[in-house]
Amino acid sequence: MSKRTDPTASVLPDQAAVFPPYTLRSLLAVAAEHGVAQERLCRGLGVTEADLNAPHTLISFRQGAAIIRRALAACTEPALGLVVGARQTLVSWGAIGFGMMACSTLGEAAQYAVQRQAQAGALPNFSFDADRASVFLVAQLRFEDAEVERFLVEEGFASQLRLARQLVGEALCPLAVELRYPEPAHHQAYRDFFRCSVRFNARENRMRISAEALATPIVGSDPSARAEIHALIEQLLQRRHARQDLTETLTRRVRGNLVELPKLQQLAADLNVSERSLRRQLSGMGTSYRALVDETRKAVAIDALAQAKSLSELAHDLGFADLRAFKRAFRRWTGVTPHGYAVNATQTPGPE
């Protein structure tokens, strides 16, 4: 019998795969325009260009920071973070962007985004501070990494201002931007984009916004539909679970090749480690390759049953020798037959 795994067991903070790769998609596009091969940026990290552009992919801070460092070293664009941030749109942020569009005011949309920042793919941590006349959007790195701090802050503030301008108009400008790091050679690019005072060597990274600007109504907002839209988004977000980036990577590979499972030796080579090292890493997380395959087959089977897929076709797609073997495995996973599980699922009331 294979080991049962807890997807959150032994998840190291910077290796927890919890971030959608929205920022990295834009980064890879900009890097490609500078002649940098996207495969070069992703090599050995457990993610490919196809993974980053696929729905439901989650990455860790470790993976994201590594791709950013490589892009910074390979690209000639000095204001890379600003350029990438300026590429972002409300659609770029996925479900969170649509949730922002449903809000009534800019301030409500900003609060909505900050409360769900990890699900929006934000690698820094953003929070609000305020005085009597204005609000500060403060950016702090989740993990100390001086090499990528400037990029993350540039991109984070630029993308959030870009989305805010989409919501209420291009005339929107912050009152001031303050940044912890020294003034870079491309400092004028900051002033051109933010169109306000920009100060470097500050105590913290923050963007100051007037209370009046935050009260600006969002054109096209429909308060009667807002609750329904936000409820649907919350249902989607609740399906995401933290996993170690290694197990997330292996699960993606297995899910895409269940009929002809990839050999662990090949997976190890793709990750630039030995097969023995990969087995040891999995063991240290309380799992094994066999257990991950088993859990992936179970998850795919349950999803497919909800779509009323034929059992014989499903057994083949999962890589089982025949329908009988699939039924035995499903009973081991759930305690019931596939048919019994499907019947129970249709009789269970959904959330109100």
By CB atoms closer than 10 A (0-12, 13-18, 19+), residue 265 is: exposed
CATH of the domain at 289: 1.10.10.60
By CB atoms closer than 10 A (0-12, 13-18, 19+), residue 172 is: middle
Q: Please, what sign has the CA dihedral across residues 91, 92, 98, 101?
A: negative
- Give pTM, 2 decimals: 0.73
| Pair (111, 207) in one structural domain | yes
Phi and psi at 155, nearest 5°, equal -65, -40
Helices (DSSP H) in 92-145: which residue ranges?
Answer: 94-101, 106-115
CA-angle at 316, arms to 266 and 240, nearest 5°: 65
DSSP summary character for residue 27? H
| Pair (36, 93) in one structural domain | yes
Q: Please, what sign has the CA dihedral across residues 59, 65, 66, 67?
A: positive
Per-residue model confidence (pLDDT) at position 240: 61
Per-residue model confidence (pLDDT) at position 139: 95
Per-residue model confidence (pLDDT) at position 192: 96
User: What's the domain count of the chain?
Assistant: 2
Residue 102 belongs to some domain of the structure? yes
CATH of the domain at 144: 3.90.1520
Block means of pLDDT (10 residues each) for the chain, 352 residues, are 41 77 94 92 90 87 94 94 95 92 95 90 91 90 86 96 96 96 94 97 96 92 88 79 75 85 87 85 83 88 80 89 91 88 63 42
| Pair (309, 215) in one structural domain | no
Per-residue model confidence (pLDDT) at position 329: 92
| Pair (261, 232) in one structural domain | no
Per-residue model confidence (pLDDT) at position 3: 39
The neighbouring-strand residues paired with 176 are 197, 208
| Pair (107, 223) in one structural domain | yes
Per-residue model confidence (pLDDT) at position 349: 47
Per-residue model confidence (pLDDT) at position 143: 82
Residue 59 belongs to some domain of the structure? yes
Residue 7 belongs to some domain of the structure? no
- What is the domain range of residue 334? 257-347
